[in-house]
Every structure is written in C-alpha cells, then in structure tokens.
Amino acid sequence: MTELEVAECPVCLQSFDDDVAIPRVLGCGHSVCEACLKQLPQPFPDTLRCPACTQLVKIPPQGPSALPKNIDLLRLTHSAPPLNPHTRSLHNPTTSFMPHLWPPNFDSAWKDWVLPEGSVHPASSTITPPLSSSRPAFASRVIKDNQKVSLVRITMLSPESDSLLQLSYFAKVMSALNRMEHGMRDQLRLILKACSIRSSLVSDVYGFWHSLDDSFLYLVFEDKKCAKFTEKIDEVGYSPTGANFSFGAMGMEICEALMTLHSEGLVLGCLGLGCLGFDEFRHICVDMSGVLMNAHGVDKIVAESIAALGKISQPKETGDCHDDTRIGHTENEAVQKYITNIDEGIIVGVSLGNFAVANLKGHLDSITGLAVGGGFLFSSSFDKTINVWSLQDYSLVHTFRGHEHRIVALICVEKELPFCISGDSGGGIFIWGITNPFKHEPVRTWYEDKDWRYSGIHALAVHGTEYLYSGSGDKTVKVWSLQDFSLLCKLTGHKSVVSSLAVCHGVLYSGSWDGTVRLWSLNDHSLLTVLGEDMLESGSSVMSLSVYDDVLVVCQENGCIKIWKKDVFKRSLHVHKGAVFAVCLDAKCLFSGGWDRVVHVQELLDDSGQMDVRSVGLVSPESVITALVCWQGKLLVGCADKLIKAYYYYS
C-alpha cells in the first residue's frame, strides 16, 4: 500500500485538527484551515483566491467559519499513521520551444551586466543612463548624461546564418559570454568585481555592449581622464614642492589605487603612464581600458620576439624596439573608440542547433484559428472548412465541411471522447467528433438568435465538460450547457463585440473591442471585476488574450500588449507595429504576432513580485499572423496567406 501524504493546510502547513487548524471546504473543492482563511486578502467582496489552485471562490458573508467543515478529511487525519514529510508528487517537465542558450545559474550571474542596446553611442564615446537597473553596483552610481566611456573590444561574433529564429540583442550577448572559454570568462568576472568598487582612483565598469555595426562585443568602462598623465605634467610644470603638483601625493594615490585593486584580487602587471590620468578634481585615476590595452600590447611584443629568435644568427638582422617599449607610448591615440582585442578568438556564431519550419498547405483563405486535441492539429479558415493535420509529419488527414459562413473561432475539448467546437460569423456552433476514423457530419449544430445588426460568433471557450462560452457581436457572452446544448444565461456588460475568451482557475476572462477585460466567476457566473477600464485610449480594442496560471496577457489593436498578474496591472509592452491579432502564453514564454508579420518571442520574469519581460528573438513568417499555438515545443503559426507554419527545434 502506498504511503499517503499528510493532510495539511496549504498555507501554514499545519496538520488539520478539530481545534487549531480546522479544515474548511472552499467552492473549488480544496480545504484550508479556518485561521488562514481569515488572514487571506479578498480581491473582491466575499471572494477569496484559493491558495492551492488560485481559483477565485465565493465565501459566505458571515466569513470562513460559515464554510462546511471537511469531516472526512479530519477522520482520515486521525486514522492515518505518521508520514514522511518529504514525500511529494513530481510534475513532468514541459517541452519548451526555445533551446537552453545558457544554464540558469549563468543567467543570474551575468544578466545584469548586459547594457541596453541603445545605451552606448560609439561616435561620441558616451553612454545614456538606463531608466532603471537591478544591479546594485550599477544603480548606486549616478551616470551623467553624455558620460564619456571607453570601449574595450572583447571578442567578435561571427555573422549570423540564415536562422529562422533571429535572436534578440540580449540573447546574442548572453550566448556569446556563455560560449567563451572558462579562463577568459573568469578573467572578465575578476575585472568586473574589482572595478565595481566605489573608488575615485579606479575607472568604473558599466557592463557589456554589443555593436550591431561591427559585430564586436565590448566591455564598457567609465572614462575618468580629463587629461593624460604626461600632458598634465607638461601643462602644470615640474614643481616637487609646489601646491598644485606633488610627486609624493601622486605616488601615494597610485599606491592606494593598486592596493585597492590588489585587495579585490586583481594584479596589474602592465601598468604604464598611458594608463594613468587626472580626474576633474586633479586626482590620479587608473584607466582600466588603458591597462587592458597595454596588456595586449605586451603580449603582442612577446609573441613577435619569440618568432624572431630564429633570425638572430642571420647577418644584418637588426631591429629597434625602442618606440614599442618606451614607457607611456601608445600606438592608438583614440583609446576610447577603438581598443585592441583582449583575445583574438572569434565566437563562432550563436549556435541554436537547428530550427526548421514545415509549411502546411490546404486552405483556400486566411487562417482564423488553431487548436490541438486528440493528437491532431485543427485549423479553421475563412474558406468555411476545418482541416485536420498530423502532428508527426504535418500531413493533411481530414477536412470538415458544413459551415455556411466564415469560421472565426475554434477550440478542442479533451476527454474520453474528444471533440472540436467551431463557431462562424452567422452565429452557428458546430461540434465535431475527432476520433479516427473521422466522420463528415458534425455531432451537433445549433445557432444563436440571429440579429442582422450583429456579426455572430467571435470567440469560444470551454470549462471542463459542463459549459461552453461564446463571445458574440451582440456584446454578450453566452453560456451553453454541453449536456443538452441549451442556452443557460447571458453575461452582459461589454459595450462592444466580445472578441476573445479564456478560462483559467475558475475564472472566465472576456475581452472586448470596448478595450476592457471582464472577469466572471465560473461558479455562479457573477461579475468579479473589470480590467483596463481606467486605461482606455485610441486603438485599445482587445484583439486577443491569453492566461497562464495567474498571469493575463491582453493584446490590442494599437499594438500594445498589457500584462496583469493576480488581477493587478504590471506593465505594457510596445514591440509590435500594428494590431496584435494572436497571442500565446506558454509558462514563461510569451508569443505574439499580428499585422507587422512578426512573431515576437519574449520571456516573462517574476523577480520579487516585479514583472519583467525580456526579448528572446523573433520569427518572420512573411505574412500577417492570425493565430498562434505552442504545443510540446512546436510553435504553430496561422497566417493570412492561407499557410500554417510549424516551427520546431531539433538538436
């Protein structure tokens, strides 16, 4: 007999009992102790979010004490023997569309050192302060506008091949760092640590920046030099006892700077006068970009000297190394713009393995919907048909016909006998059996009440095997029974077409052309709240939405993407040029596409409650995107040019 888990409260983790941790049953079926229920916040009146499944559930006006007590759970707890607290169920990991470009621990160590793409201006050798930074060493410094910087060339990325997935700027930099040799990366880590100290005697380091013009990766340093060391001596003049100049004070500051770097584990073995300068307060400062350039120069001279050893015995073989070894000599005067490489190696591309695309041809008009169910891919189109595709070889298996109007919505329901539901612009709803062999006739058909003023079905969603929801042109959400296919009720409140629907954790989300998203309880279909009502603007019509766990992503006609987490607005994105017709949220990956013919791939990061979005790359299907589905690592894209493109990665 398998060992049972301890019956405990999911909040305080105390075992249920009759006195302290009394189990109260919520509407979703989960049990939480009464004491914890009293402490949970209520996002809406008489409503709690279940801590186990995050579903919104109603509670009596009298409070949690009026909820039923889970007597069976108490009886089981009293009779159960002590259990192993470490016994937990494991979830199978989901397949991600993106390959792992770098390990997770690498991300936490290096991501904050990547400067924004447009922050550095090579022509003027200046840096623009970012709006915010999560790196304490960077945020603690006040960067002036047009702050002078020095760029040290680290390595060069080879030109990108014709990859189907074009990596973002951030992904290119992180991938290049990840593919460096460990020894070189350790040296960079030591330099970053040593130069992050708050000392006026050492130039600060800002991070890594990738130039898209010359494909080089640079390390960006603060340029604190107001004048070169030798030039300042000539300007001030030699006066060992003068008030303006003191070799003793200079020597002390140089020693202090070197000792500071030594304390951080960094030893400078190639320090010359060209590596020193005066800041605006006439104090000595060590320019780390000059130090790195000097180090490379010495390595080059040593290599050339070793190569010349074989020619020493030959007559008339002489050379002059005076200029190359003279203290303070630098061959390149424009240090802050072009610095010789630390390492001559080239990072051979940002290797993604192999991305492939399969083109699925079969429709005669624009694709309007995609759904996966029963092991097949289903696609709807303005040509009034539904095609069934194999997910193994992407071959066309079957075609459903019967709609008299354009099909605009498509969903699949997974159960013992899976089925597909389609809705058209004439108000028709068709249910199709999707077990092989496929039948040509639908299992069931019915129509909304027809009204010539409105445009029929626009969206579909399903809750288990009980309810079907349809978003309509008459501004309502209709609730249908999947048992007898009768109309149960209408959800009213929207002021325009209900364009998109989604169900998650006991909540129905309805998006409308009026620019708002309404949340409805699946228990009694009551309105919970309205999102976006205070952010209405021109072109804010909701075109599509997607929900995963407690994150809601809403795409609008003006190209804006808005993100809510736990019904709290987090941020808006402006990555598209034009309306965003399709969105898919798969765990932490966000896929969006629309009028600009580009699918943007982004990663959602939830760091201490602060929602951040990081661009990973983009895919260009070369047509307007009308539907998106991500399934087991495959990105399925429906286009207006009648094609369906299946993007997938193989190693």
Domain assignment of residue 140, yes or no: no
285 and 359 inside one domain: no
Q: Which tens digits make up the pLDDT trace of 60-77?
A: 888 888 888 887 777 666
Beta strands 147-157 and 126-127, pairing class: antiparallel
293 and 174 inside one domain: yes
Q: What pLDDT is stored for residue 623 in this prediction? A: 94
* Residues sharing a CB contact under 8 Å with residue 460, sequence separation 6 or more, in sequence order: 409, 410, 411, 421, 422, 423, 429, 468, 469, 470, 471, 501
Share of the chain above pLDDT 70, in %: 73
Amino acid code (one letter) for 140: S
> Does the structure show a pLDDT above 70 at 218?
yes
* Residues sharing a CB contact under 8 Å with residue 437, sequence separation 6 or more, in sequence order: none
Q: Which tens digits make up the pLDDT trace of 154-195?
A: 877 766 655 688 888 888 888 888 888 888 888 888 888 777
Domain assignment of residue 123, yes or no: no
Q: What pLDDT is stored for residue 335 in this prediction? A: 35
Chain centroid to CA 553: 13
Q: Which tens digits make up the pLDDT trace of 74-85?
A: 766 655 444 333
Domain region containing 485: 344-649
> Does the structure show a pLDDT above 60 at 569?
yes
Amino acid code (one letter) for 466: E
Domain assignment of residue 98, yes or no: no
What's the pTM value of the predicted model, to 2 decimals? 0.72
| Domain total in the chain | 3
356 and 433 inside one domain: yes
**Among the ranges given (209-223, 438-452, 507-521), the one the predictor scored with the smallest mean pLDDT:** 209-223
514 and 570 inside one domain: yes
Burial class (CB in 10 A: 0-12, 13-18, 19+), 424: buried
Q: What separation in angstroms does the CA of 120 have from each of 6, 112, 207, 343?
A: 57, 16, 11, 22
Amino acid code (one letter) for 258: L
Q: What pLDDT is stored for residue 506 in this prediction? A: 87
43 and 175 inside one domain: no
298 and 363 inside one domain: no
Mark which of 34, 50, 76 sits at the end of a domain: 76
Q: What pLDDT is stored for residue 106 in this prediction? A: 80
379 and 474 inside one domain: yes
Domain assignment of residue 283, yes or no: yes
> Does the structure show a pLDDT above 70 at 231?
no
> Does the structure show a pLDDT above 50 at 346?
no
State the CATH number of the domain containing residue 25.
3.30.40.10
Q: What pLDDT is stored for residue 337 in this prediction? A: 37
Domain assignment of residue 121, yes or no: no
Q: What pLDDT is stored for residue 334 in this prediction? A: 37
Domain assignment of residue 334, yes or no: no
Which H or E run contains 482?
none
Are 412 and 457 a contacting pair, CB within 8 Å? no
Are 460 and 424 a contacting pair, CB within 8 Å? no
Q: Between 243 and 543, where is the model more confident?
A: 543
Burial class (CB in 10 A: 0-12, 13-18, 19+), 45: exposed
Q: What pLDDT is stored for residue 328 in this prediction? A: 34
Q: What separation in angstroms does the CA of 293 have from each of 134, 420, 572?
A: 30, 66, 43
Are 559 and 580 a contacting pair, CB within 8 Å? yes
Q: Between 189 and 515, where is the model more confident?
A: 515
Domain assignment of residue 106, yes or no: no
526 and 413 inside one domain: yes
Nearest CA among 262, 253, 343, 248 for reference residue 295: 343
35 and 151 inside one domain: no
Are 377 and 370 a contacting pair, CB within 8 Å? yes
HSE-CB of 448 using CA atoms within 13 angstroms: 29
Amino acid code (one letter) for 119: S
Burial class (CB in 10 A: 0-12, 13-18, 19+), 119: middle
Nearest CA among 467, 449, 539, 532 for reference residue 503: 467
Report DSSP state, residue 252: H
> Does the structure show a pLDDT above 60 at 90?
no
199 and 71 inside one domain: no
Residue with tokens 């009028």: 595
Report DSSP state, residue 19: S
Q: What pLDDT is stored for residue 343 in this prediction? A: 39
291 and 353 inside one domain: no
In this prediction, residues 286-310 reach a mean pLDDT of: 60
State the CATH number of the domain containing residue 525.
2.130.10.10
pLDDT band at 236 (very low <50, low <70, confident <90, very high): low
Report DSSP state, residue 112: G
Q: What separation in angstroms does the CA of 232 have from each of 77, 125, 277, 282?
A: 82, 22, 8, 9
Q: Which tens digits make up the pLDDT trace of 466-481?
A: 899 999 999 999 999 9
477 and 621 inside one domain: yes
